[in-house]
Amino acid sequence: MTKMERWLAYINRELTILDYNSDHRDAFEEGKAEGRKEGEAKGRKEGEERLGMLMSLLLKENRHDDVAKAASDADFCEKLFKEYGI
């Protein structure tokens, strides 16, 4: 094998490694983005269920003013979640 052939073989190996690493990185980032999207959807669903449960409990107890306040005040809503153990 000539010096030039060895050099070309080396360059070929390096390019193959770079391609592999690039493909691996892209797949990792794609998977991470997909996982983030799924996690956000799950969190949103759980948050909606949690809020719905709170609103139902408040309405059963005729706490209509608290329903209105919780709908617009996140801190008050959190206080109610703790109060009801939600």
C-alpha separations of 76 from 23, 68, 73, 85 in Å:
48, 11, 5, 14
**How many domains does one find in the chain?**
1
pTM, entire model: 0.63
* Model pLDDT for residues 38-78, shown as the tens digit of each residue: 999 999 999 999 999 999 999 999 999 999 999 999 999 99
* Model pLDDT for residues 18-40, shown as the tens digit of each residue: 999 999 999 999 999 999 999 99
**Structural domain harbouring 76:** 3-84
